[in-house]
Structure 1
């Protein structure tokens, strides 16, 4: 865990145009680290019930609530460890995301049985603190070398973007999601390619997070045509430069369903997908 706590020192020496965000983003970082520390000390159930909002969306792989996933006693007895690889913050300072590696062991001090990456969405609360409103993760093979913490990603909005004229951001994103669902029904995952931000990450089970276009394209080719969806949740930052959506898709052309979480960012005046996470559901027994 010592590597986790080195993150705070890394924060203030990070380079790039997003460095101006450091003071505001530090509060989110401290919340993330406190969340991880509580899981290390008191267990998964206590940590998630403490740091997720009551209406938070979690995925396992189906979308469910914090209470349904983590409420029943005694909770998961395993040991979950994570730290942020990168984070981003809306210009309004009310919405943020965190992304990084995690490991799961049967008990504290035991060998890691599962490796993966998580994506969490954080929202500023009325008291000025931060809590997670969504949390999703994908398993993948153990990385060849440890993932380095911590980068204030240059994809994170660094300055407030002038609001666009016309319909509000929520309406625009509802339309973007509807158009993407229609295109996906015809083309499959390749419909996502023109919607990706320059520094986009695509997360799929059994794969390390994808950022190279050729790798992303290959992975998206495996996402079948057919499914449609309407986001179950859609939230936009007050500054209109960062948003997230999540939900579940209808069956694809082979009858498979999946959950998704997507983070959108304003890039060059247009909404682009910064993260796309898709978790297939287990096949329904016939």
Structure 2
């Protein structure tokens, strides 16, 4: 009887192991994140910055903007809804992406161009976005920040 108890206990303990996780291909995940950031930029050009940011922000996302404290979650979405993006076009080019080993978080960075429709000038800057993979496998950003102030020759390099 005791022997049978040990066998049952051993089988039970063996069944408590975590299931083997599927190996993550970080190269594929990096490409996926770069494509997501590029699609985000393309939506900003095609449909406006406001719609693109609302589409790609995580429900707990944070916006870091000049002259504002961090804008978080629902407040960030409200802030975006109130924006008037008809006077400019915002686009950017991701230069790199880094993805965590578990492929559930990552970040992208690059150069953006803000082009007002009424002025013949382009404002260049740099940005970083931190991304979180959603349960459905899509990436949404959890933090977005940018800095204006690079000249056009630096932006083109």
Q: Does the alignment reach a TM-score above 0.5?
A: yes
Q: Distance in 1 between matches of 2:109 and 2:125?
A: 11
- Select the residue among 88, 98, 101 that pairs with 2:108: 98
Q: Is 1:64–2:71 an aligned residue pair?
A: yes
Equivalent of 1:48, from 53, 64, 81? 53
Task: Tell me which residue corresponds to 2:43.
Answer: 38
* Aligned equivalent of 2:96, options 86, 93, 111: 86
Distance 1:58 1:145 in 2: 25
Instruction: Quickly say closer, same or farther: Cα 1:96–1:46, change in 2 above 3 A.
Output: same
CA separation of 1:21 and 1:70: change in aligned 2, threshold 3 A: same
Divergent runs of 4+, >3 A: 108-111, 145-148
Deviation digits for residues 211-264 of structure 1 (CA, Å, limit 9, x no counterpart): xxxxxxxxxxxxxxxxxxxxxxxxxxxxxxxxxxxxxxxxxxxxxxxxxxxxxx
Q: Structure 2-normalised TM-score?
A: 0.73
> Structure 1 residue aligned with 2:130, among 110, 113, 121?
121
* Pair 1:23 & 2:28 matched: yes
Q: Is the 8 A contact 1:99 1:117 kept in 2?
A: yes
Q: How many residues align?
A: 127
Which is greater in Rg?
2
Separation of aligned partners in 1, 2:59 and 2:81: 11
Q: Give 5+ residue unaligned stretches, structure 2.
A: 1-24
Q: Distance in 1 between matches of 2:142 and 2:149?
A: 24
> Does 2:140 match 1:140?
no
Q: Distance in 2 between matches of 1:68 and 1:85?
A: 29
Post-superposition CA distance 1:256-285 (Å, at most 9, x none) = xxxxxxxxxxxxxxxxxxxxxxxxxxxxxx
SS at match of 1:135: strand
Residue 107 of structure 1, CA deviation: 2.5
- Report how far residue 123 of structure 1 moved: 0.4
TM-score by length of 1: 0.41
> Any unmatched runs of 5+ in structure 1?
1-19, 149-286
Contact (CA 8 Å) 2:131, 2:141: kept in 1 or not? yes
Q: Which has the higher helix share?
A: 2
Q: Distance in 2 between matches of 1:147 and 1:25?
A: 23
